[in-house]
Amino acid sequence: MTSTRTTLDKEDMNTARTPLPVVLAGARGHGRSHLLNIRRLEERGLVRLAGVCELRPLDAAELDGIGNPEQSADFEALLASTGARIAVLSTPIQTHTDMTLAAARHGAHILLEKPPAPSLAEFRRMADGVAEAGVACQIGFQSLGSHAVPAIRRMVAEAAIGELLGVGAAGAWVRDEAYFRRAPWAGHRRLGGVDVVDGALTNPLAHAVATALALSGSTRAEDVEHIETELLHANAIESDDTSCVRVVTSAGTQVTVAATLCAEKSSEPYVVVHGSQGRITFWYRQDRVLVQRAGHGPVETEYGRTDLLENLVAHVTHGEPLWVPPAETGAFMRVVEAVRTAPDPSAVPAEHWHGEPGESAPRRVVDGIDALVDASADELRLFSELGAVWAPSTRAGAR
C-alpha cells in the first residue's frame, strides 16, 4: 500500500459524512461488477449512483433496484449535470486516457479499470494530467488490494524463504471464439490506427503480471531493466492469446508470467515467489497463500482484501492512502509497452492446437499448454526455453 496522498479540497472534506455522487461509464459486461459494487456501497451510505454513461441506456432490470440515475451517452455532460465526485471508468482500453482526463477536468476522482492505457505515452499523459488537476486516481488492479500482497512482501523482506531467487506467475483460462467477438476492439492490437493492445498478458490476465511485479518489489516504471516477450495466438485474432514475458528488474530479479486463453481446463491463476529456502504461492483471486519452507510444515492462510472503490472513497473523504495510484502501475505499463512494440504475435501452427466445443462457440486448445504455463512459473523460463517448438525465441527483448 502506498503512502501517496492527493490534496483534499474543502468540498471533499465537507462530503465526508454524505454519500459521494458517482458516475459509472461502462455498466455492461465487466462494468456490471462495478454497478453491483456501487450498490453495495450505496447500502452503506458511502456513495450514490448519480449517473450512468452508456451508448444505450440501462433498463430497469439492468439497474436492478439501483434508484433512477441520470443516463446519457455524453460523459462530460453527465459529469457536469450530476456534480460527480467520483467517476468509475470501465470502458474500452483506447478510451481510458481521454475519459480520465475529462473526469479530472471536472474535478472528479477516478477509479480506472486495468489496463490503465494502451501505451506508455498515453499512460504518462494520463498520469500527468491527473496530477496537474489535483484529483486522485486509483487503477483497478483488485488483486493489489489484497492484504496478502504486503504480507508476502514482509515475508520476503524478512528472508522467511531465504534469498529471493525470482517470481513466476501462471494463468490458464478457457475462452471460446465468442470471447474475441465480444466488442469491436477485442482481440486487436490496433483499431483504426489507434493502439488497443488487447491480449492475454495485458488485459484478461493482466492481474498476473501486475501481482508478480508487486511481489518482486518492482511496481514503478524505473524498477524495470529489461523485458523479453513471446507472443502467440491459436485463435484467428490479431493480438495474443498464449504468451509469456520475462522481466528483469533493476534489482536483478527475474519475473516471468505465462498466460493462455487456450487452456485444456480453466484453473485459478497464481504467483510463485521462489526463495533459496522455500517458496510462497499466492492464488490472487482467492487471497490464498501457501508458504512452504525448509524445516517447516506448509502453512496456508487466507487474507482479507480492501475494495479499491471503497478505498478511493476513504481517500477522498478521510485522506487514507491509495492502494493503487498510477505510479504503482508503471512497471506493468512497461510490460504493456513491450507487448505493444513487439513484432505481431506468431500463429501457433494448426498441428499444435485442436478445436473443442465451447460454452457459446467453438474454442481452440493449445496442446500441452496447461503444463507449459505451470512449468514457466516453476522454472522461470519462457515457452521456447521449455521446448515448445511453436514458440519462436525473442531473446532480443525490449527496453
pLDDT 10s digit of each residue in the chain, 399 long? 554 444 455 455 455 568 999 999 999 999 999 999 999 999 999 999 999 999 999 999 999 878 889 999 999 999 999 999 999 999 999 999 999 999 999 999 999 999 999 999 999 999 999 999 999 999 999 999 999 999 999 999 999 999 999 999 999 999 999 999 999 999 999 999 999 999 999 999 999 999 999 999 999 999 999 999 999 999 999 999 999 999 999 999 999 999 999 999 999 999 999 999 999 999 999 999 999 998 999 999 999 999 999 999 999 999 999 999 999 999 999 999 999 999 999 999 999 999 999 999 999 999 999 999 999 999 999 999 999 999 987 654 444
Q: What is the per-residue pLDDT for 399?
A: 42
Task: Read off the amino acid at residue 367.
Answer: D
Q: What are phi and psi of 160, to 5 degrees?
A: -65, -30
Where does the chain have alpha helices with state H? 10-14, 31-43, 60-63, 75-82, 96-105, 120-133, 148-157, 206-215, 308-318, 330-341, 369-379
Cα–Cα nearest to 129, from 89, 110, 101, 103: 101
Q: What is the per-residue pLDDT for 3?
A: 43
The whole-angstrom separation of Cα 321 and Cα 5 is 6
Which residues touch 247 (CB under 8 Å, ≥6 apart)? 213, 218, 224, 226, 227, 254, 255, 256, 331, 334, 335
Residue 146's beta-bridge partner residues?
A: 305
Q: What is the per-residue pLDDT for 67?
A: 81
Q: What is the per-residue pLDDT for 17?
A: 67
Q: What is the per-residue pLDDT for 382?
A: 98
Q: What is the per-residue pLDDT for 64?
A: 82
* C-alpha pair distances (Å), 18 with each of 83, 167, 262, 366: 14, 43, 47, 52
> What's the length of the chain?
399
Q: What is the per-residue pLDDT for 16?
A: 53
Residue 398's beta-bridge partner residues?
A: 227
HEC states along 18-29? CCEEEEEECCCC
CATH 3.30.360.10 residue ranges for the chain: 147-304+334-386
CATH 3.40.50.720 residue ranges for the chain: 10-143
Q: What is the per-residue pLDDT for 271?
A: 99
Q: What is the per-residue pLDDT for 220?
A: 98
CATH superfamily of 147-304+334-386: Dihydrodipicolinate Reductase; domain 2 (3.30.360.10)
Is this structure's pTM higher than 0.85?
yes
Q: Which helix (H) or strand (E) holds 267?
A: none
Q: What is the per-residue pLDDT for 7?
A: 46
Class of domain 10-143: alpha beta
Residue 279's beta-bridge partner residues?
A: 274, 292
CA quadruple 339, 33, 94, 332: dihedral sign: negative
Residue 167's beta-bridge partner residues?
A: 255, 273
Q: How many CA atoms lie within 13 A of 41 on its CB side?
A: 24
| Three-state DSSP state, 121 | helix
Cell of 14: 465537507
